[in-house]
């Protein structure tokens, strides 16, 4: 009798395996319609999933909204603090401008090295052979653009106008290899540090500031601006940031590598600094001043 039950269990096991294999093979067939049991199982499982998924999605969405509200609150708090700081800075700047205007009237000086009127322009052409050298913009003499006017972006100084037609102008960039292109620059601080932007290191992608007095301590991270002393570039235009300081070939002065504030390779919209204090001749600010001194002395 036990032997019979043992054989019976074996037979049931074999039948179960056969049925299971048959069901698996049947379910793996490429069928267009599901069987009634499959439909029932899928419907029941789908209904159960919907019962759990909807509350879960609702809870997740609620938590996300709460998190967003908290982040918005923190951002709003930060922006309000910045806005107060901005408002105080604006008020201080307004007072400084008013005082500056009064002082200029007292000494009879109408023009300032910082004064300029921006003329919006779009870059319309760029020679692949001179990609880092020059660009052509869609503003010319008709809009008051003249040779030697500075060209800037919202980030900082990019170059100057070297050729003008009635409706177009060619701009030479600071990244040019023209050795005659110089910019009188300054590192502002408690004691201003003056020098000249002369040259561009293509390997580093940085400008070179030379003729810095060796007595000054130039540090990495300091900002460099146009000094306005050359006569071409308005004072206070951001040029870049000091990344490295060393001595020149003779060891008498220092030179600094400057990371440009503006991206010369991605220029689409620029501004021409239209001003009345622009010399008609001269390859750069320093040369222009020397030429003017020579004319006065002759």
Q: Residue 283: what pLDDT?
A: 46
User: Which residue reads 């319609």 in tokens?
Assistant: 33
Helix (H, G, I), strand (E, B) or coil at 5: helix
Q: What is the pLDDT of residue 222?
A: 93
- pLDDT for res 68: 76
221: left (phi over 0), alpha (psi -120 to 50) or beta: left
- pLDDT tens track, the chain, 298 positions: 455 445 777 788 888 888 777 777 666 565 556 566 656 666 666 666 666 666 776 777 777 778 778 778 777 777 777 776 766 676 666 666 666 666 656 555 455 667 788 999 999 988 777 777 889 999 999 999 999 999 999 889 999 999 999 999 999 999 888 888 889 999 998 888 999 999 899 889 999 999 998 888 899 999 999 988 877 888 889 999 999 998 876 778 899 999 999 988 888 899 999 887 666 554 454 444 333 333 333 3
pLDDT of residue 82: 73
pLDDT at 179: 83
CB atoms within 10 A of CB 198: 19
pLDDT of 171? 94
pTM above 0.85, yes or no: no
Closest CA to 132 of 201, 226, 198: 201
pLDDT given at position 136: 92
* DSSP structure string for 33-83: S--HHHHHHHHHHHHHHHHHHHHHHHHHHHHHHHHHHHHHHHHHHHHHHHH
């Amino acid at each position: 009798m036990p032997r019979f039950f043992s054989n019976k269990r074996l037979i049931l096991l074999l039948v179960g395996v056969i049925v299971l294999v048959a069901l698996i093979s049947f379910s793996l067939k490429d069928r267009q319609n599901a069987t009634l049991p499959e439909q029932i199982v899928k419907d029941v499982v789908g209904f159960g999933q919907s019962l759990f998924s909807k509350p879960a999605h609702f809870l997740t969405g609620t938590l996300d909204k709460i998190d967003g509200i908290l982040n918005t609150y923190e951002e709003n708090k930060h922006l309000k603090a910045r806005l107060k700081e901005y408002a105080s800075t604006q008020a201080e700047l307004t007072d400084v401008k008013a005082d500056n205007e009064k002082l200029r009237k007292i000494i009879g000086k109408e023009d300032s090295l910082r004064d300029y009127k921006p003329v919006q322009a779009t870059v319309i052409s760029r020679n692949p052979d001179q990609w880092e050298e020059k660009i052509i913009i869609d503003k010319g003499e008709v809009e008051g653009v003249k040779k030697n006017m500075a060209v800037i972006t919202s980030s900082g100084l990019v170059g100057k106008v070297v050729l003008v037609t009635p409706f177009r102008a060619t701009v030479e960039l600071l990244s040019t290899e023209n050795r005659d292109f110089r910019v009188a620059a300054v590192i502002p601080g408690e004691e201003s540090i003056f020098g000249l932007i002369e040259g561009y290191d293509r390997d580093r992608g940085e400008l070179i500031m030379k003729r810095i007095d060796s007595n000054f301590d130039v540090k990495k991270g300091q900002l460099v601006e146009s000094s306005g002393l050359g006569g071409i570039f308005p004072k206070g235009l951001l040029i870049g940031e000091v990344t490295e300081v060393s001595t020149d070939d003779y060891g008498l002065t220092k030179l600094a590598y400057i990371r440009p504030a503006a991206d010369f390779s991605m220029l689409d919209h620029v501004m021409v600094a239209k001003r009345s204090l622009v010399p008609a001749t001269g390859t750069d600010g320093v040369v222009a001043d020397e030429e003017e001194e020579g004319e006065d002395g002759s």
